[in-house]
């Protein structure tokens, strides 16, 4: 299995490079990432840059410090400086309208990267992981860990979702809730805070500190009586880290199941230590390789690989998309997924 994972990843990267090398010379690809504050965006940006450069492209990689205006300026500069294709992981999906209009005017294709660009017909393609599946994997993990089909319950559940400005956050949330809703309806899962709707559980900019502050408030308001929390459903690792911090500060009960996403180093260490139960693993090397392949197909005038032409409506058009499949990591399989594949080294997880 380990060898198959490594071989599949290597073949994906080789195919991407071969597909682009003949068309790369002299072309510049713009890559706009939202921030360096989260580990995963650093990895995404560097993976993309390295693979594009190996394919022969020049790369203009920019990080926007979670500043919408800064990202708008960066993308506009990429367009005006002659980038042939622009790949954008947006801070806020509806914030780049004027830059996207300019890209369309100049005939520059735009690939939305892992976050859908909203309210525009200037989005050529979308490359991401199956975001609804991310949520279903989190919800299914909770269902199976608590044996909800057989256990009596009730179990206390709290929810911390993602950034309302990130279109993916609603997919993550909805995938998990669709799995857990029957158990909420029958009272086997109980949310003592009453905070269930996405708008009530969202975390602006996915900030650890914001998630921690809200979790601390929930603990002091609803669990000061000594009640146990059985599950804290977190949409990603930065929010899971905030929840974990809050629990460590002010919780003496049985440690809950905590979900996450991205397999950030701090969170994998928490999994090993028993503080986080799982994290959905989205191998950014796979996604980067797919985007490099798509760039090559665009510039070669070839048909671009997509596998979903129905799901991702940005309120103007349905954007042709390529969805990679996520998996989940926990203490039982993290070595195979993260170490044997070369994603991390053992020293990084000490």
The 10s digit of each residue's pLDDT in 324-344 is 999 999 999 999 999 999 999
Pairing relation of β-strands 278-281 and 327-330?
antiparallel
Mean pLDDT computed over 83-95 = 95
pLDDT value at 23 more than 70: no
Please give the pLDDT value at position 165.
87
The 10s digit of each residue's pLDDT in 200-257 is 999 999 999 999 999 999 999 999 999 999 999 999 999 999 999 999 999 999 999 9
Pairing relation of β-strands 125-129 and 155-160?
unpaired
Report helix, strand or coil for 87.
strand
Mean pLDDT of all residues in the chain? 93
The 10s digit of each residue's pLDDT in 122-144 is 999 999 999 999 999 999 999 99
Q: Provide the whole-model pTM.
A: 0.84
Q: Longest Cα pair distance anywhere in the chain, in angstroms? A: 66
Tell me the C-alpha distance between 283 and 233, whole Å.
21
Q: For 2-130+282-325, CATH number?
A: 3.40.50.2300
Pairing relation of β-strands 28-33 and 58-63?
parallel
Distances (CA, A) of 167 to 116, 205, 312, 314: 6, 12, 10, 9
Q: Residue 25, CB half-sphere, CA atoms under 13 Å: how many? A: 1
Sorted by where each begins, the domain ranges of the chain are 2-130+282-325, 131-281
Q: For 131-281, CATH number?
A: 3.40.50.2300
pLDDT band at 69 (very low <50, low <70, confident <90, very high): very high
Mean pLDDT computed over 20-49 = 84
pLDDT value at 280 more than 50: yes
Q: Which of 33, 114, 137 is nearest to 312 (CA)?
A: 114
Burial of residue 109 (number of CB atoms within 10 Å: 0-12, 13-18, 19+):
buried
Question: Hey, what are 282's tokens?
Answer: 């989205």
């Amino acid at each position: 299995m380990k060898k198959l994972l490594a071989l599949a990843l290597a073949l994906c990267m080789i195919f991407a490079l071969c597909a682009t090398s003949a068309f790369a010379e002299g072309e510049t690809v713009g890559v706009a990432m939202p921030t360096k504050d989260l580990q995963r965006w650093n990895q995404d940006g560097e993976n993309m840059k390295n693979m594009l450069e190996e394919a022969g492209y020049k790369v203009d990689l920019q990080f926007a410090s979670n500043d919408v205006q800064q990202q708008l300026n960066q993308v506009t500069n990429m367009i005006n400086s002659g980038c042939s294709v622009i790949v954008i992981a947006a801070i806020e999906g509806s914030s780049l309208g004027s830059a996207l209009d300019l890209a369309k005017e100049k005939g520059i294709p735009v690939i939305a990267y892992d976050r859908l660009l909203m309210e525009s017909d200037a989005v050529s393609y979308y490359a991401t992981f199956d975001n609804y599946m991310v949520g279903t994997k989190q919800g299914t993990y909770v269902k199976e860990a608590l044996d909800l089909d057989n256990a009596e319950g009730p179990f206390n559940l709290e929810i911390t979702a993602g950034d309302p400005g990130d279109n993916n956050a609603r997919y993550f949330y909805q995938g998990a809730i669709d799995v857990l809703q029957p158990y909420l309806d029958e009272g086997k899962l109980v949310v003592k805070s009453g905070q269930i709707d996405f708008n009530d559980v969202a975390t602006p900019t996915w900030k650890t500190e914001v998630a921690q502050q809200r979790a601390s408030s929930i603990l002091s308001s609803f669990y000061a009586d000594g009640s146990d929390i059985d599950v804290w459903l977190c949409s990603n690792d930065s929010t899971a880290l905030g929840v974990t911090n809050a629990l460590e500060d002010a919780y003496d009960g049985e440690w809950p199941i905590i979900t996450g996403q991205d397999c950030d180093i701090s969170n994998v260490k928490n999994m090993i230590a028993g503080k986080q139960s799982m994290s959905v693993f989205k191998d950014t090397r796979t996604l980067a390789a797919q985007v490099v392949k798509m760039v090559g197909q665009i510039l070669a005038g070839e048909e671009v690989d997509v596998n979903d032409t129905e799901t991702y409506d940005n309120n103007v058009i349905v954007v042709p998309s390529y969805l990679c499949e996520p998996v989940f990591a926990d203490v039982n399989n993290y070595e195979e997924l993260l170490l044997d594949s070369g994603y991390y080294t053992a020293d990084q997880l000490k």
